[in-house]
Structure 1
Amino acid sequence: MTTNEKIAALRAAAKAAGADGVLIMTSDPHCSEYLPGYYNALPWFSGFIGENSTLVVTQDRSALWCDGRFYVQADKQLAGSEIECMHAGSAGVPTVAEYLGSHFADGQTLLLDGSCVPATIAKEYIDALAKKGAALKSQDVASPIWDATGERPALPDTPCELLTPAQTGATAADRIAMVRAELQKAGATALAVTGLDCVGWLLNLRARDLPCTPLAVAYALVTMDACTLFIAPGRLSDADTATLAESGVTLRGYEEIIDAVHALPADEVFLVDEKATNYALYEALTAHKTVAGADPIFALKGIKNETELKNLRECHIRDGIAVVRFQMDLEKALAEGKQLTEIDIDTMLQKRRAEMPGYFEDSFSTIAAYGANAAMMHYHAEGDVNSAIEPRGFLLVDNGGQYDCGTTDITRTYPVGPLTDNERRYYTWVLQSHIDMARAVFLDYCTGFALDTFARGPVWAHKVNYRCGTGHGVGFISGVHEGPQSLRPNNPVIFKPGMTITDEPGIYETDEVGIRIENELECVDLGENQYGHWLGFAPLTLVPISTEPVLVDELSRDQINWLNDYHAHVYEMLSPRLNEDEKVWLKEKCAAIGR
C-alpha cells in the first residue's frame, strides 16, 4: 500500500465507525519516546520515521506535525504524499488542537486510541473539539488496518533480568520504600507506574523490548502495603521472581492493570501524572480519589546514587576507548583513500564497541551524517539514503552504547578534508557554546531553563540559534533520553548533584552543514560560601574533541584552558588501557592548544 492508500483506508475506517477523522501519535500505553514496533503505527501510515509527531486525517485532508529537529527530514519523507507537513512551533503553523478546532464542526467525531495517547493531550483535544460542538471518542481503527497487512510487529516478550545492587546501589525493596515516602508527602496512597524506565528503575528490571533501550513492556502498581508487577507470564526466571518476592513484589498479567485499579478500595488515593498516563488508564484511576502530581520516580531516578555514578565513570572509560579506536580506523581508511559511506561509519563504530566488555547494544541508532546531511539533526543513513564520505568538509557522528555499567551518548564532528571559512567559524562557535556550558558555575536554585542560556550565548552573539534543547538527562542502563532535568528553554527542574546531562549545542544550516559537539556531564557540588551553595559540571565523556578546525584566536583564555584541561583528563583516564600506538595517537589528539 502507498501512503495515500493507507490514509484512504483510515478515512474509510473512520467513516464506517460513524466518525469524521482519526488521530495517531508516536506514543504507546507507556508514553515512551522509543516505541516497541507493535505500537509504532504513525511511521507505517505516513512514511515519516521521526519522533514526537502527530498525524490527523479528516475526510478531505491530512496533516502531520513534527518538531524543529525533523523539519527537513519530514519534508523529504512526506514528499509525494497528500500529507501536509506542519512545522510545529513555526510562525503561522497551527497547533494540533487549533487545527482540530478549525476542521471539525458541530456533531462531528474524532477517533483515537486512548491507550496510546497521554491523558493531558487527550483532554486538550477534547476541549478544543468541544468548543466547536465536536467530540473525541477512544476507538482504535488503525490497528485492524495494519494487522490485516501482516506487516505489524508482534508485542515484544524478550527475556527479562534483574540488575544487581552492585550495579544499581539499591534493591527493589529500597526503591519501593522511597516511592512510598514520596506518596506520603503528596498525600497519596497509591501509584500506577506507567513509564517503562520508571518500572525498570523501581524493580531493577531490564529486557530488550525496545530498540536500543533495555526495558520491559510492563506496569507496576504501588500501594502502602503491596507492589505488583504487570508483565506477560513466563518472562522472568524463577530466581528473579523469587528475588522480587523477597522485596514484596507479586506478579500479574500485563493486561490486568486496569482491572487491578478498579478492584482497589474506594478510599485509595492515587497520585496521577496526566502527562505520563495514557487516557484509558487515566479514566480508571480517576474513578478513585486522586492527587495531581508528577510521578515521583522521575525525580528519584534523575539523581544517580554513588554506585551508579561509579559505574557510569567506568562505562565512559570503556566507551571512550571504543570511540578512540573508531577514529583511528576512520583516519587510516581515509588516508588510504578507501571509499566509505555513512553506513560504513556505523558498522565501523559498532565493531569497536562490540569489543568492549559489558557492551550489549547501541543506545540509539547511530547518526553518521556527512556534509549537508548533518543539517538534519536526526538524520539516519539507511538503504538508498547513504552518502559517500568525500575528502572535504565535516562528518558528524552521534552515537552511544548500552553497557552492563551504564548508558552513553556522544557526538563528534570530524574534519575529513579541507574546510570552508564558514565551516571553521561554525565549528568554533559550537565549541565555544559547548565549553561555556561545561564550565558553568551556578547556584543551587538554577533550572534547566536558566542554564540553557550558558550554551546559547556564543551562537546568539552571531544571531544563530538551534531549534532544540542544549541537553538531556541520560538513564542508567536505560533510555538515552531521561528526565526530569534537561537543558532547554522551558525546563523548570532545579539541578542537583548526581544529575547527569548531555551538553550538545550545534549549528544546522540547511543544505550546507551540520555541526554538533556532545559530552555527558555530571552535576557536582562545588561547596558553599556567603553567597550560597555552588554547583558545576564534571565531564563523563572521555573522547578528544577535534581541534584542527578551531579558530583559536576566537576562543577566550578560559575556554582554551578548559579544552586543554579536558584533553589532559581524557589522556590520563584512557591511556593506561591503550597500547603504545594508541597512546601516541591519543597524546597528539589531546595536545594543548594556544594562541
Structure 2
Amino acid sequence: MSPPPPQIPAALQNLCGQIPLPGIKRSNTTSSKHTYQSKSSMSSRPTFNTQTSYDSHNSEKVGFDDPMGYPPKGGLFRATNIDGVIKLTAVDEEGKAIRTPELDSGYRRTDTTGRLSELRKLMRNEKIDYYIVPSEDAHQSEYVAASDRRREYISGFTGSAGTAIVSLNNAYLFTDSRYYIQAEREIDRNWSLFKVGSGEVKPWNEWILNRARGAAIGIDSRLIAHDTATALTSALKLRGMRMAYPQRNLVDQIWKDRPSKSCAPIYIHDMRYAGEHAASKLDRLRIWLKEYPVPAADLKYSSPPRPSSPARDRPTSKPLPDLPPPSRAPSRQSSMRKDSLSRQNSTSSGPHPPTRTPSRSGISRKNSTSSRENFHRDRGETAVRLIPHYSTFVSNLSCIAWLLNLRGGDVMCNPLFHAYLWVGVDKATLFVDARKLSDEVKRYLRELKISVKEVSDVWGYLRKREFGSGKVIIPPKTPYAVSLMLTYSNYMVAPSWVESNKAIKNKVEIEGFRNAYLRDGVAMTKWFAWLEEQLRAGNTITEWEAAEMLTQFRKQGEHFMGLAYENISATGANAALPHYSPTKGLSSAIDVQTPYLNDSGGQYKDGTCDTTRTVHFGHPTDEQCEAFTRVLKGHIAIDSAVFPQGTTGKQLDVLARHALWKDGLNYLHGTGHGFGSFLSVHEGPHGFGIDVPLEVGHVITNEPGFYKEGSFGVRIESALVVRRVETKGQFGGDIWLGFERFTCVPIQTRMVKMELLTKDERRWLKEHNRKCKDLLAPLLEDDARALRWIRRESTRTSPQQTSAVVQVLAHDAPVQIDSLPISANFKPLKGGSTLVDRDRARFWSLFTRHEKRAQSVGLKNTAVHYTLNVGFGSPPTYYELLIDTGSAYTWIGAAKKYVETKTSTRQTNQSFYAAYGSGSAVGAHYKDQVTLSPSLVISNKSFGVASSTDGVDGSFDGILGLGPTGLGKNVVTPNNGKPVPTIMDALLAQKKIEHNMFGISFTPTKSRGTIDGELTFGGYNAQKLTGKLNWYGNQTLQSSSTGVVDTGTTLIYITPKAFKVYSESLPGSKIDQSTKLLEIPKDSVGKMKSLFFVINGIPYEFTPNAQLWPRTLNTALGGKADAYYSVISPLSDFEADTGSSFINGYAFLERFYSAYDASKSMIGFATTSSTTAEIN
C-alpha cells in the first residue's frame, strides 16, 4: 500500500516531475473585476487567459478552476477573491453560475453546504476565524474508526490523509499526491483543493500562517500532535494570531448521525506469534526510564564526606557555568517540516537528533549536562536526582497493543483498541472501556501489575497528577491535550522507546511474516488463476467483484483475521489513483486491454501483509511496457541494495526512482513504509524517504510506481526485512546490510521490455519467479488451475526447452502424402513499428512461455506469413488461416465470421482463450467438419470461433495450429487439463494420413499473395529437395551452439559479436533508423560472402543473395525503394543470454525445406532449388 509522499529537497522539485495544479495562474497585476475565457476542451486541463487579475492583501495569489469539474469549451468564469484564494465559478453569458459536468469516476460528491453552515455558527459563538479538522483521531492514528472520521464528514473526501480548514467564508482541503484526483472528484463546490507537494503549494500548517493578522485558529487539542501544536502556536504568536481549543469538538456537535464507539472485545496475542512476553517488554521499557539522561535542572550535587578542617581548607567557590535550560519541545525548524504529510505515518516519532538515533534499547548516552557535571566532578561532588524517576505516557494504539501483547477490533482493518497507557518504574495504568475486557484479560493485566481505569478518566488523571511524582516522557506525536493537562515542568519530549523497539522484529515475528506471506501468496495465486480464467471466457468481472473474490480466497488461509486495508482493485484510469478502492455500487469492469492493479493484504495472527501486482490480460502498449519496466528496475534496485549500517531509507530512495527519472517520469508517494506484526499496515519510524537509519529487523515495503492520469497506473510492491549480509570487503570494519524478500507472488512478464533490463536484472526476475513457483507449487496441489498458472507465470524457458518446441520432429522415409498449396503474404508495417521490433516481441514470448507455447505466436509480430485456405462446415465455407508450427489450437473468425451449418455443434460449457504475445483471440469452442483438401476431410473436429480478437488486422481469418498436442493443453476451459486434439491428431485418428508428420516448402517472398508454397500432410515432398534431408532431435544440444528456427520470426538473428564481424566486412554499412535493418552500400553488395549455419556439424549455406531483403518490398517496410537491406540482425543481450547462437525465421525457411515428425520428436532440413536462387 503506497505510503505518504517523501520529503523532496527544493533543489530536486523540478526533477521529480511534480504534477501542476489544474488551472492555476499567478499574477502580480491588480484589478477588481475578473472574467476568464477558457481555451480548453472537456478532455484537457483548462488554461486561462489572465489578462486581468485581482487585488489582495496577501502575497500568495492562487486561482483554482471550479472544484465541481472542468469547464466546457469556450466557457466563462467568475473569479471571487476569498481569503486570498481566487475561486473560479463557471457562468453562462448572463453571468449566472452553472454546474459543470462531474468527472466520470467511482466517487460520489457530498453536498456539504448545510454542514458548513452549522459549523460556522459554532465558530462565531467560539470567536474562531478558522477551524481545523484533521484526519487523525485522539491517538494521532492514520486509520481511524467510523466515529472519528470528522474530516470525511465535513468535507465529503474519503481518503485516509488530508486536513480540512473552514473559515467563516470558505473551506479548504489539503491532501497529498496519493489523493489529488480522488479529492477533485469527491469534494463539492464549497471547497478549494490544495495539492500539497505540487508546485508551490504548502502544507496547511504553513499556509495558515499567511492568514489575516489577529485571527483565531481553532482545533480540538486531542487531534493535533504536540510537536505540531507547539511549533504552530509559537509561529502564530509572531504574526499576532492565536490558537483556540474549544472544550467540545465542533464537528461532533453538528454530526447528528455519528456512528457509536466500538465495543469490540480485547484479546491476548499469543506468545507463539508475539515472540516476547509483555512482562519482558515492560521490564526493558522501565530500564530505559531509569537510565534516561537527566537534564541539569533535575540534578543537585553533594560534596563527598571529609574530616573537619579549618575554613581556610575549603575549596574556593567558583561561579557555575551559565547553562541554558533543557529543551523540552522540538524547535520550529525540526517539528514544522516543509511537508507535514511527509512523515511516514501517524505513529512517527518525529524528528530525530541529527547526531544519533535511539539504539535497540532506546537509550542515548549523550548528556546535555556534561559541562556542569564536569565542573562538579572536578570538585569531587556527586549528582543526586531531584526527580526520583521518570514515567512515560503512550497514546499510540499500535504501541499499546504491541507493548501489552493485546489486540482488539475498534478500527477497521486494524486489530487495535482505543486506550491510553501510563507506565512508571513499578506500576502502570491502562485507560480503556472496561466492557471490552474479559475475565481472562483482566486477570492477565493484574499479573502484569497494570491497573485499569475508564478511558474518559485519563484527562483528570493527568491534570491531578494521580500517577505521583516524577516527570512524564511523551513522544512528539502525543496528542497536544496531554501536554496541556501537564504543567510545563512535569513532562519531557523524547522519541518513543516503544515505537523504536516495536519496529525491530524478533526472530519469531520474522518467521511469522515468512509464513503469513506464503499463505497470502497462495491466496493471490489461486485468485489470479481464477480471474484470468473468467476474463478469458469473456465474463464481465468488476473491480469490486474481483476484490471480493480475493478476500474469499484469503479467508481459506490459516490464521486469517481480516483485511489489512481496503482492497485497491483498479483497472485502466482508476489505477492512476494510488489509493482507489471500488464499492459494490461504483465499480468499473476490468478491461483486458489496460493494466489492472491490485494492492491488497491480509491480517494474519503471525503477520500483516501488503502486496501490489500490476498485470495485463491482453496486449499492452509500448508506453505501458516502458513504464512497467522502469518501475520494475526501481523495484529490483531497492531489493538488491547492499549498504553500510547507518544508511537511512531516505538515502536509498533514489534507487527506486532513478530508472524513471532517466525517462522524465516519477511518482509522488513514498517508496516504502514499515508495517506491523498483526498490527497496522503502516508503521514508523523508518521508511524509504525518511531520514531514519535502517536497522537489522526492520521490515519495510518496496513499492515504486508510475501513474498516467486518465489512462493507467503501475505499482509493484513487495515486503522486505533488513538483514546483515556478508561482503567480500569490510571497509573500515563496517557492518553491511541488505534485504530479504517476504512476498511470494510472481511478477508478470507480459509488460517487461527485456532490452531495458541488465543481465543482473533479468537474472533477478527469473530467480524471483522461480522461487515463487518452488515455494507455492507444493501448497497448490489441491487446485489444478492455480498450479498451472504458477508454473506458467513463474517458469522462464531455457534455450534447450525453446529449441525443443521448434524441433517438432519428423520421419526418415517418404510415405503417401497429400500436398496443399500455400500463399505467401506480406503484412505492411504500421504504427511506427519495424520488423526488428516485432521479432523481438516474438523472442520474449518464445523464451518465457514454454508450458503454454500457444501464447508464443506473434499475430502482430509476423510481417511475412504463409496462409492456407481451409473449409469449415458442410457445405464448407473457406477461411484463410495463418500456418503456425508454434501453436496447437486452430481457430477462425478474425476477419470472416463463422457460418454455422447442419454439422456445426457448439460446446456450450467450453470456451477458448489463445494469447500470442502481442495478440489474442477469445471465444466459443465448436466442433464441425473441417476440409483441408478433397481427400483430407475431418469430421467432428474441435476448433475455436473467436468472438473477440486483438492484433489481427484482417489479413487472415485465424490460425492453423500445427504444433505438438501439448501446446494446446490450457487453451480450452474447462477441459480437465487435457489438451485439445490437433489437426494432425485428427488426421491420424481418422486415418487420413499414416504418419504424424508434415513438411513445409516456403519459397522466397517477392510480392504479396504469391501462391508458391506447399504444405504436405503425412510426410514430406521429396520432389522439392535438392539434397539430403538431415534430421535433428532426441538429443541434448549444448547451449553454446543452440539455434532456434521459428516460423513466427521474419529475419535472421546472430550474436552481437558475429554481427559486428559481419557488418564490418561490408564497408559503409550501417543500421537504418527507419527500418532498423543493416543498410548496405551498393558498392559493398558485391563484396558479400556466404554465411554458414552449422547444425550438429552439418553446414547450411546462406548465400549473399539470400541475405538481402526483397527490394520490391522495401517501401512496405518504410525504407527507401532503391536501398539494399540485409535480413541479418544482431541478437539483443537478453536473447544472447538465453544461449542461442542464432534465431532463423522465414528468411531462412524460404531457402530450405523443413519437415516435422511428432512421433520421433525430430525436425529435418534440406536444400531446395531456392537455396541458391538469385532473386533478390
Name the TM-score class by shorter chain: over 0.9
Structure 1 residue 99 corresponds to structure 2 residue 207: yes
Question: Where do 5+ consecutive residues of structure 2 fail to align?
Answer: 1-109, 294-388, 797-847, 849-1133, 1136-1176
Structure 1 residue 249 corresponds to structure 2 residue 450: yes
Match of 2:244 in 1: 137
Instruction: From 276, 294, 299, give the equivalent of 1:170.
Output: 276
Distance of 2:730 and 2:116 partners within structure 1: 63
Select between 281-290 and 476-485 the one with higher mean Cα deviation. Answer: 281-290
Deviation at 1:543, TM superposition (A): 0.6
Structure 1 residue 503 corresponds to structure 2 residue 702: yes
Select between 414-423 and 14-23 the one with higher mean Cα deviation. Answer: 14-23
1:12-161 to structure 2, matched below 5 A, reads: 12-78=121-187, 80-106=188-214, 108-139=215-246, 140-147=248-255, 149=256, 151-161=257-267
Structure 1 residue 378 corresponds to structure 2 residue 487: no
Superimposed CA distance per residue, residues 121-159 of structure 1 (whole angstroms, 9 cap, x where no aligned partner): 222332343233221111134244444x2x211111201
Deviation at 1:288, TM superposition (A): 4.4
Deviation at 1:570, TM superposition (A): 1.2
Structure 1 residue 272 corresponds to structure 2 residue 471: no
1:275-314 to structure 2, matched below 5 A, reads: 276-314=477-515
Deviation at 1:101, TM superposition (A): 2.5
Contact kept? 2:115, 2:254, Cα under 8 Å: no
Select between 290-299 and 441-450 the one with higher mean Cα deviation. Answer: 290-299
Distance of 1:524 and 1:98 partners within structure 2: 39
Question: Where do 5+ consecutive residues of structure 1 fail to align?
Answer: none
Structure 1 residue 449 corresponds to structure 2 residue 642: no
Contact kept? 1:208, 1:216, Cα under 8 Å: yes
1:408-427 to structure 2, matched below 5 A, reads: 408-427=609-628
Distance of 2:771 and 2:442 partners within structure 1: 43
Contact kept? 1:326, 1:352, Cα under 8 Å: yes
Structure 1 residue 545 corresponds to structure 2 residue 739: no
Superimposed CA distance per residue, residues 496-555 of structure 1 (whole angstroms, 9 cap, x where no aligned partner): 111111000000111121100000011111136431211111110101110111111110
CA separation of 1:516/1:154 partners in 2, compared to 1, >3 Å: closer, same or farther? same
Of all paired residues, the percent bearing the same amino acid is 30
Distance of 2:620 and 2:587 partners within structure 1: 22
Match of 2:93 in 1: none
Contact kept? 2:674, 2:700, Cα under 8 Å: yes
Distance of 2:702 and 2:252 partners within structure 1: 43
CA separation of 1:265/1:426 partners in 2, compared to 1, >3 Å: closer, same or farther? closer
Structure (1/2) with the larger helix percentage: 1
Contact kept? 1:430, 1:506, Cα under 8 Å: yes
Select between 243-252 and 156-165 the one with higher mean Cα deviation. Answer: 243-252
1:143-542 to structure 2, matched below 5 A, reads: 143-147=251-255, 149=256, 151-187=257-293, 189-261=390-462, 262-264=464-466, 267-274=469-476, 276-382=477-583, 384-488=585-689, 491-527=690-726, 529-531=729-731, 532-542=734-744
1:554-569 to structure 2, matched below 5 A, reads: 554-569=756-771
Contact kept? 1:98, 1:128, Cα under 8 Å: no
Distance of 1:383 and 1:58 partners within structure 2: 35
Deviation at 1:286, TM superposition (A): 4.2
Deviation at 1:267, TM superposition (A): 4.3
CA separation of 1:52/1:183 partners in 2, compared to 1, >3 Å: closer, same or farther? farther
Distance of 1:104 and 1:384 partners within structure 2: 44
Match of 1:588 in 2: 792
Distance of 1:243 and 1:92 partners within structure 2: 53
Superimposed CA distance per residue, residues 82-112 of structure 1 (whole angstroms, 9 cap, x where no aligned partner): 1100011222324323432232322x32221
Contact kept? 1:168, 1:307, Cα under 8 Å: yes
Contact kept? 2:726, 2:736, Cα under 8 Å: yes
Distance of 1:421 and 1:144 partners within structure 2: 51
Match of 1:572 in 2: 774
Superimposed CA distance per residue, residues 56-93 of structure 1 (whole angstroms, 9 cap, x where no aligned partner): 11111111100111111111111x32110001122232
SS of structure 2 residue aligned to 1:332: helix
Contact kept? 1:505, 1:517, Cα under 8 Å: yes
Contact kept? 1:100, 1:125, Cα under 8 Å: no
Contact kept? 1:432, 1:555, Cα under 8 Å: yes
Deviation at 1:260, TM superposition (A): 2.5
Distance of 2:487 and 2:137 partners within structure 1: 20
Deviation at 1:52, TM superposition (A): 2.2
Contact kept? 1:4, 1:81, Cα under 8 Å: no
Deviation at 1:484, TM superposition (A): 1.1
Q: Which amino acid aligns with 2:789?
A: W
SS of structure 2 residue aligned to 1:486: strand
Deviation at 1:227, TM superposition (A): 1.5
Distance of 1:217 and 1:551 partners within structure 2: 49
Contact kept? 1:433, 1:456, Cα under 8 Å: yes
SS of structure 1 residue aligned to 2:580: coil
Q: Which amino acid aligns with 1:583?
A: L
Distance of 2:282 and 2:212 partners within structure 1: 45
Contact kept? 1:101, 1:131, Cα under 8 Å: no
Contact kept? 2:461, 2:467, Cα under 8 Å: no
Q: Which amino acid aligns with 2:691?
A: P
Q: Which amino acid aligns with 2:232?
A: Y
Contact kept? 1:474, 1:501, Cα under 8 Å: yes
> Structure 2 length as normaliser, TM-score?
0.49
SS of structure 1 residue aligned to 2:721: strand
Distance of 2:414 and 2:749 partners within structure 1: 33
Superimposed CA distance per residue, residues 346-391 of structure 1 (whole angstroms, 9 cap, x where no aligned partner): 1111110111111121000001111111111111112553111122
CA separation of 1:317/1:23 partners in 2, compared to 1, >3 Å: closer, same or farther? same
Contact kept? 2:154, 2:251, Cα under 8 Å: no
Deviation at 1:263, TM superposition (A): 2.2
Select between 81-90 and 131-140 the one with higher mean Cα deviation. Answer: 131-140
Q: Which amino acid aligns with 1:176?
A: L
Contact kept? 2:179, 2:579, Cα under 8 Å: yes
Q: Which amino acid aligns with 1:138?
A: Y
CA separation of 1:291/1:110 partners in 2, compared to 1, >3 Å: closer, same or farther? closer
SS of structure 1 residue aligned to 2:430: strand
Distance of 1:119 and 1:84 partners within structure 2: 28
Match of 2:31 in 1: none
Deviation at 1:264, TM superposition (A): 4.2
Deviation at 1:235, TM superposition (A): 1.2
Distance of 1:560 and 1:286 partners within structure 2: 61
Select between 529-538 and 344-353 the one with higher mean Cα deviation. Answer: 529-538
